[in-house]
Each structure stands twice: as C-alpha cells, then as structure tokens.
Structure 1
Amino acid sequence: MTKFSDLNLNPKVLKAVAEAGYESPTPIQAGAIPPALEGRDVLGIAQTGTGKTAGFVLPMLSLLARGRARARMPRSLVLCPTRELAAQVAENFDTYSKHLKLTKALLIGGVSFKEQDKLIDKGVDVLICTPGRLLDHFERGKLLLTGVQVMVVDEADRMLDMGFIPDIERIFSLTPFTRQTLFFSATMAPEIERITNTFLSAPARVEVARQATASETIEQSVVIFKASRKDREGTEKRNLLRAMIDAEGEKCSNAIIFCNRKMDVDTVAKSLKKHGYDAAPIHGDLDQSQRTRTLDGFREGNLRFLVASDVAARGLDVPAVSHVFNFDVPSHAEDYVHRIGRTGRAGRDGKAMMICIPRDEKNLDAIETLIQKAIPRLDNPLGGGAPASAEAAAPAEDEKPAKPRRTRSRRKPDEAAPATEEVPTQAAELSETPPATEPAEAPAPAKDIQAAPSEGTQDRAPREDKPRSRGGRGGRGRSGGGGGGGGDNNRVVGLGDHMPSFIAMSFEERRDS
C-alpha cells in the first residue's frame, strides 16, 4: 500500500500530515500528487468525500515551499464555488502548512473588503476565493494575477451549475499561459470537457471511480409519498420527515436535511424546532456570520440537524454525519450524489433517505439512471398519505380555509330583476317552451319609467315585449337591431325624449348667434 512518505512531498508537509493522523493517501491523492509535483496539469475526477482537497493542497504546499510572495501578486490561486468550500480549503492549508512560512488570504463574500485588501497588500502565497469576489478585487485595481504559478479549480461541475463558467474563463485569461493548472470535478459535463481541452495542456487524467457514483458505504433508500389532499402536502410531508427521523432512533446522531428551495429550508427548520428537534437553517440568503456560526455548531456537535439548500451540498466536510435526508428530490441528478456524499465519508458508514412525491418521480428515474442502480423503496411509516398526528388532523396555523367558489352571475340570487330590464337567460333563448316541471307565472304588467314629457312631444305607444338582441354595442337594455339606433322610433339613447335645439343648429347659425 502506498504511503505519504512515498510521494516525494516536502518533509515539513509530511510532518503536518502525520500529526493530522493520516498515513496512507486515498486513490485520488495517490494518483494526483505525483504528476502535480512534476509540474504537469492534472484533471482529477472522483466522487465526493474521497479527499480531493488534500490531493491538490499537499503538492501546492510542496511547490510553494521555496520562494517569496510579492504585494498584490499571489503565487497560487484556488477557485471554489461556495463560501463554505473556500473556508474548508483554507482550513486544510492551515492544517498542512503549519511548519511552513507561507501566507494565505481568503476572499469570499459577506466579509469586509478592507480586511481582505490588507492581506493582499502584504503579499500572499495562496489566494483562496470565490470567482465573484476575486473579480471584484481585480476590477478595483487591488489585485494582479500575472504572478500566479499554480491555479486550482475545485468542484468544477458545481461552478457550471451556478453559472460561474464565464467568470472562470475570464480568470484563466488573466493568468500567465505558463501556469500549472489542477482541475478537479466529480462529474464531467460537456461544458467542463470543453474548458479542460481549452485551458489544460496535456493533463494527467486521474479518474479513480466511475463518474457520478455514490460511495459504497452509504445505504440509500426512498419513501414514495402521496398526500391525502393537495393543500395538505407540505404539512404531511413534514410529518413524514419527523417519523423517519424517529424511526432511526439513536442511530441518527446528526443529520443534514436538504431542500430544493430556500423558503422550504426555513419552513422545515422552523417546523422541526417547533416539535422539539435541535435544528437550524443554512442557505445563501443568510448573513455569512450566521452561516459560519451554524456550521461551527454542527461540526462541534452542538447542533443535531442542519437544514440546508444545495449551497451546503458541496464543501461540507463533517466526518461524522450519520444521516442525510432529502426532503425534496433534487432537480439535477448530479446533485443527489453530492448531497448524500456528506455522509459515509473517510470510510465510515452512512445512511441517505429521500422523500419522493408523485411529481418528482421523473427526477427519481433520472437519479437511478445516473447512478446505474435502483434505490430501495421503504414503507411509509405514516401508513400511506393519511395524517398520523394531531397536526395533520387539524388545519395548520398558516393555512386558511378554502374560499367558496364564486358563481358567474352578476346579480345576487335574492335580488329581484327590475321589471323594465327583464333579460331572458341563455337557456330561455335556446328553448322555445319553458320546462314542464316549472310552470311559468304570468308576468306582472311592466310600466315604462320615462322622464316627464317636454313641450312639443307626444306620448309614445307602449313598447312590445320582444326578445332583446345580443348583437351590437350596448345590446343590453335595447330592442331591435344592433348599433346606436333601431327600434322605438330610433330615439337617441341618453338625451331623454327630445333633442335640445342648439344641437339641431347648423355651424353657421351657431357662429352667427
């Protein structure tokens, strides 16, 4: 078996590795470290939790052991998709470089620019950052990338998912052509393949496992769930989650619960806390200080349940996570591999459980196609979609009763129609005779409500009751044909029973008067 002492690492780096308790490298480390020490580009493909971080940190430290940093010109660059992953890489550098006189800077969002500028001005050997914050410093004129000797892109497939590929290409163009590039990813999408062909020169390809496979130490399962009512789906799904946690008992020492949406992360965390579970949320909309405190509490064992979005699917290195619960089936099949990779790390056993509702079955099929195995089905501990608790039996506090459906009628049922505005319904127009079950009543004699007649006008004959035409503008309330006139002696609607004399005057008469 290969040991770290066989990999030609710097003696001071080997001493730090031994003090950390590691003796033998993982397959990705054993395959990536030798070509990296030779100065070759490396393309590393391995499933999550296999030690890819140390696979590039250890050779970088050995290569940077000689030399000195200059102000605003870092000697090496590590790009990470999330703040949490960048912070984890920084911790690895602290662990393995404690016997070397190397400096580092962590450039991530949510931290003051002023403090980061001070570190850059002093000169750093290792710059660990997210793409957005790196470009912010560059555009402000605080950073030069012409001195980069080694560049690392970590979790490249996650970069693709988050839309960072244009930023990555721009950063590549700002670094020297002679740089050494270490490129690590869990999957190789076509876009990632294009970038490696463009920016890597004859890389040593190290692929220690089939792409997008989960560790064999993780026990996977899924519960197919259908709610009793559509409006009860969220509540019953949270009931099912708690039932699954309770069924694991003491074996569930801690767990990460993944949701697809940030809103659901907050809702699930709030529900768990309400029912006495020690839980806290983490997602991209929270302040960086709050995210850091939550992660620290989870790592130290002070927090049992971490409810997270996919921002935590990459970069969370908590070795003793016993369970991963997928409250939602991930939309992208690759994300499932990264989510469940938070458990079963470093050779430990882990358990991954998922809830699948009917509309997510297509995503479940895509996951099983990707990992090339069927995920075992579990029985619903709630016995189907029926509620199993008082919360499920009673309406939730935040759910309002359904409003009664409104009818299409514009008139209230108990409102009597005016005698002069008796408009026949559509059914009456289509039927020549009334229904036999309801004899028609004799209509009351209608009285025409008219304005008082003016001088020079004659009484009009009463109008005959004729079906009103629906054609023409303003058909309601008119008889005869459509348009503005027709029927009832073509009287002008809206001017009463006479026409004012000034309207009948010609233009010349009005001008002369």
Structure 2
Amino acid sequence: MSFADLGLSDELLRAVTDAGYTEPTPIQRQAIPSVLMGKDLIGIAQTGTGKTAAFVLPMIDILGEGRTRALMPRSLILEPTRELAAQVAENFVKYGTNHKLSMALLIGGVQMGDQVKALQSGVDVLIATPGRLMDLFQRGKILLTGCNLLVIDEADRMLDMGFIPDIEEICTKLPKQRQTLLFSATMPPVIKKLADKFLTDPKRVEVARPATANVNIKQWVVPVAASDKRGMLRDLLRAEDVTTAIIFCNRKTTVRDLNKSLQKSGFRSTEIHGDMEQSQRIAELERFKKGDVNILVASDVAARGLDIKGVSHVYNFDAPWHPDDYVHRIGRTGRAGATGIAYTLVTPDDAENIAEIEKLTGMKIERVKPASGETAREEAPEKRGAAPRRGRGRKTEAEPRPKAEPVAAEAAPEPEARAPREAEPRREAPPRRERGGRGRSDDRPEPRRQSRGSQDEPDEGWNGPVPDFLKYTLGA
C-alpha cells in the first residue's frame, strides 16, 4: 500500500514524496483513512512508529478548506512538553509546504505577546501545552468554540505529568460536535476513562501490544557494582560498533558528571537535561543530529518523542524507576524498521525494577557480563584521590585480570573506593504521585502547580531564540 491509496490530496502526496517517504507505516495505514472520514480515533502505538504523521497528514487535508477567525483556532493539538510540540510544528512545516495553512505554537517560556499576536490573526492549527493554553484561555486571549478537531498526543505522558485535569477542563470548552483523536503508547485505566468520556464511538488502532518493547531492538541487562558503572559503560562503548548512542540517567547531576567523564576519556559526547536553557538544548541536539558528537547523555526529558534517525545504541546508565520509561527510552533506537541495541546497567539495588520491566514487556531480558573494569581501575585513583596502588605502573597495567573475576572484587583492596558516592547518589524510592500515577525522576515537573504561569511545563523555559520552524505561517 502506498500513500496514494490512503485518500490524501495530490498536493500532500507531493510533499510526502519530497520528504523522502514512499510507504506508510502500519499506524498511518490504519489511522489516516478513518481520520479523513471524520471519525474519532484511539491510536495505541509506540514512539518511532510514525504516529505523528498519522494525524498531521490527514489534518492538513481536512483543514485545506475553510477560513480562520481571530482568536478561534480551527484545530487543537495538545502535547505534554515543549520539545514534542516543536516536533509536531516541524511536521506541519514539512508536509504543509503546498498548503496555505497558518499555525501557532503555545508553549511556556516564549514571549506571550508573540503568541497572542498569532492568535489574533486567526490560525488553522494550534499546537499547545496544557498549562499555557489554560493560562491564555483564562486571560480571555483565546476562544475554543470554533475548534472542531482535537488531538491529544502522548496521553500516558500527560497522565505522568499531572495534566489530565487540565485536559478534561479543555475538552469542556470545545464544541461537543467535534472530531477527537487520542494517541498513547499505553492505555492505563485513567486514559481509558478519559477516552470513554470525551470520544464518540472511536475507531481503535493498535500497532503493538501496549508497553511492548520493539522486537527490532536487541536488549541486554549488564549486572555491575554501582562503583564500576562508568568503567563498564566505557568498555561497552569501545567494544561495540557505536554509530550514535543515547545514554539515559535518572538524575540531572548524573547526566552532567557522566558527560564530563566520557569527554575526559576521549568520547565525543554532549548532554541535555532539564536545567539547561531551551536554546542550549536545541543547539546540543543539532550537534548530535549533524554528527559533531555521536553520544548524547540525557535525562528523561528526552526519553519520549525525540525522533533522531540512525541511533544505533541506547544505554541505560541508570535502570529506569518505572517500567514504561524503559520502553520509551530504548525506543530511541530500532526506529522505522531499523535494528538497534539497548544495554541496561543493573546494580543489586535495581533487581526489583528489572523484574517490573520484564513483567510489563512480557519478556526475559538476556544477561551479559562483558570483560570489564580496566577503565574503572584506571580512573579510580585519580578521581577519588586514593593513594597509588601497590605496583601501579606499566607492569601492572600490562597484566589484565582474568575475565572470570568479578569486576566488583577488583576494588576490594581499596576500602575508600566504595565510600564516596557524590557523583552517583544511592537511589531513593521515587515520590508518590497524588493522582494515582507513577513517581518521577528529579527532571520531571510537579503534577499540578498552584498557579498557571508561563513556566508551567516540565523544564525551566525557552530562553533562547525561537527556531525558524516555530514561525506560525506555513507555505507561501
């Protein structure tokens, strides 16, 4: 089946072909015809399956007819984070090149005046994060009574971030007679309840079992002592044919420290996390995409939605606290039919987390323990300020230890090697969510803020220049 078989317009087909795509993905094949027919839809799909184009493409054709009115967007797309909202905007720019559609982006951290100005001109597509949208709505800067098409993207992520009450309130402001599309990687009870309440006889499209890890990704668990994780990671990076890799950590401090350690060891790495300004994050992602660096160390702010082609490896330096995060992390590789490799470094404290991941995915992850520890031994005395070891010198370095010897045991003669843990603090149980969701790493936002201002989203704000693709007018 080709895109031409889905009922898309000739102008849109040209844009798709120019973008380099010839065949639709399974989610696109199943979803696009139903959306074009005006039906409500529930799409259950992992990231990397092409689900964004599954709603962007038909929306462009649907909105091709009609006119805009001031302050009244014709369609609304809700995204949990600024990064995802920006990526959807990129898709509209790419595929809407032959259509004269206008678009506005409402996200925290961008000058509100510019966003209001775009709305006053009238827009066909409004892409927003829930907090900023509710803020403008309460200020009387936007009307939703003319919005006939609603997309709720990454609904399970919305749940994690505490946005479901906002979404429910937004839905009550929209016309009852509308088309609603809901996309989610998983379908927990709260999301099912939301769909039952606000969707009318929806078509259900499921391209993979909820929370199932991609079969194109070869997964490994690497048991390791906490004090030897950096050395093990370096050994894995050197042993594999790593084209591009993303390394995930649970804490922002770990991201920073690990990136410095990798750079010191000669790796071409960079980092993104929630403490960075938005402009800096974008700049580092561009360096990674262009190949200036081939290793990206990231916190979970980047775990979902980032569509970076050609990522060969994913490394979980920290085992994720929540099983769903594992699925979304490793989903950065093995995209669009390609194969990928994912390693998870597991300490004894992570046993329960790994068991939950295997329970969720329904598969036993293979264990592997490659010969390791050489790098860890070399770094330990310098980094920890330990006294030089007896016999440390060329002769000692030239005599590798037997592979069968546990890595953890090699540090035993050095008592203080295990004591300091400033760089890698002992993992504490994540805080409970008030709304029955899951806990979060320190890179995630509070579920609900007492007041909705411009800083209502998961990171600290968009403090840099706005990229060209965020301009709100499409086409000429």
TM-score interval for Structure 1 and Structure 2 normalised by the shorter chain? 0.7 to 0.9
Aligned equivalent of 1:242 = 234
For residues 50-449 of structure 1, the aligned pairs below 5 Å read 50-227=49-226, 233=227, 236-248=228-240, 251-382=241-372, 388-396=376-384
Aligned equivalent of 1:28 = 27
Residue 208 of structure 1, CA deviation: 1.6
Checking the alignment, whether the CA contact within 8 Å between 1:45 and 1:184 is kept in structure 2 is yes
Q: What secondary structure does 2:384 align onto?
A: coil
Residue 393 of structure 1, CA deviation: 3.8
Q: What secondary structure does 1:295 align onto?
A: helix
Aligned equivalent of 2:409 = none
Q: What secondary structure does 1:100 align onto?
A: coil
Separation (CA, whole Å) in 2 of partners of 1:221 and 1:145: 48
Separation (CA, whole Å) in 1 of partners of 2:15 and 2:382: 58
Separation (CA, whole Å) in 2 of partners of 1:402 and 1:388: 15
Residue 50 of structure 1, CA deviation: 0.7
Checking the alignment, whether the CA contact within 8 Å between 1:244 and 1:381 is kept in structure 2 is no
Separation (CA, whole Å) in 1 of partners of 2:6 and 2:276: 42
Letter in structure 2 aligned against 1:392: A
Range moving further from structure 2, 373-382 or 177-186: 373-382
Residue 266 of structure 1, CA deviation: 1.5
Aligned equivalent of 1:458 = none
Checking the alignment, whether the CA contact within 8 Å between 1:42 and 1:203 is kept in structure 2 is yes
Letter in structure 2 aligned against 1:81: P
Separation (CA, whole Å) in 2 of partners of 1:107 and 1:113: 8
Residue 284 of structure 1, CA deviation: 2.1
Separation (CA, whole Å) in 1 of partners of 2:339 and 2:375: 32
Separation (CA, whole Å) in 2 of partners of 1:392 and 1:305: 23
Q: Scaled by the length of structure 1, what TM-score is found?
A: 0.73
Identity of aligned residues (%): 57
Letter in structure 2 aligned against 1:343: T
Q: What secondary structure does 1:212 align onto?
A: coil
Separation (CA, whole Å) in 1 of partners of 2:119 and 2:286: 26
Aligned equivalent of 1:434 = none
Residue 303 of structure 1, CA deviation: 2.3
Q: What secondary structure does 1:270 align onto?
A: helix
For residues 461-472 of structure 1, the aligned pairs below 5 Å read none
Checking the alignment, whether the CA contact within 8 Å between 2:235 and 2:375 is kept in structure 1 is no
Checking the alignment, whether the CA contact within 8 Å between 1:387 and 1:393 is kept in structure 2 is no
Distance 1:401 1:51, change over 3 A: closer
Separation (CA, whole Å) in 1 of partners of 2:209 and 2:260: 38
Distance 1:90 1:397, change over 3 A: farther
Checking the alignment, whether the CA contact within 8 Å between 2:106 and 2:133 is kept in structure 1 is yes
Separation (CA, whole Å) in 2 of partners of 1:397 and 1:25: 57
Checking the alignment, whether the CA contact within 8 Å between 2:78 and 2:129 is kept in structure 1 is yes
Residue 146 of structure 1, CA deviation: 1.2
Q: What secondary structure does 1:347 align onto?
A: coil
Structure 2: segments with no counterpart, 5+ residues: 387-415, 421-476
Letter in structure 2 aligned against 1:72: L
Residue 402 of structure 1, CA deviation: 7.2
Structure 1: segments with no counterpart, 5+ residues: 228-232, 404-513
Q: Scaled by the length of structure 2, what TM-score is found?
A: 0.79
Separation (CA, whole Å) in 1 of partners of 2:170 and 2:316: 35
Could you list the structure 1 runs, at least 4 aligned residues long, displaced by more than 6 angstroms after superposition: 398-403
Separation (CA, whole Å) in 2 of partners of 1:323 and 1:121: 45
Residue 220 of structure 1, CA deviation: 0.8
CA shift digits 1:225-253 (9 cap, x unpaired): 124xxxxx2xx2122211111111xx211
Separation (CA, whole Å) in 2 of partners of 1:27 and 1:47: 12
Aligned equivalent of 2:426 = none
Letter in structure 2 aligned against 1:389: R
Checking the alignment, whether the CA contact within 8 Å between 1:28 and 1:51 is kept in structure 2 is yes
Residue 388 of structure 1, CA deviation: 3.7
Residue 110 of structure 1, CA deviation: 2.3
Separation (CA, whole Å) in 2 of partners of 1:144 and 1:337: 37
User: How well do the aligned residues superpose, as a CA RMSD in angstroms?
Assistant: 1.9
Residue 337 of structure 1, CA deviation: 0.7
Distance 1:85 1:397, change over 3 A: farther
Q: What secondary structure does 2:336 align onto?
A: helix
Which of structures 1 and 2 has the larger relative contact order (alpha carbons within 8 angstroms, sep 6+)?
A: 2
Checking the alignment, whether the CA contact within 8 Å between 1:110 and 1:287 is kept in structure 2 is no
Aligned equivalent of 1:467 = none
Checking the alignment, whether the CA contact within 8 Å between 2:47 and 2:305 is kept in structure 1 is no
Aligned equivalent of 1:4 = 3
Checking the alignment, whether the CA contact within 8 Å between 1:326 and 1:355 is kept in structure 2 is yes
Distance 1:34 1:390, change over 3 A: same
Q: What secondary structure does 1:102 align onto?
A: coil
Q: What secondary structure does 1:369 align onto?
A: helix
Distance 1:98 1:401, change over 3 A: closer
Residue 274 of structure 1, CA deviation: 2.3
CA shift digits 1:366-404 (9 cap, x unpaired): 111111111111114325xx874321245526999979x
Q: What secondary structure does 1:110 align onto?
A: coil
Aligned equivalent of 1:42 = 41
Aligned equivalent of 1:482 = none
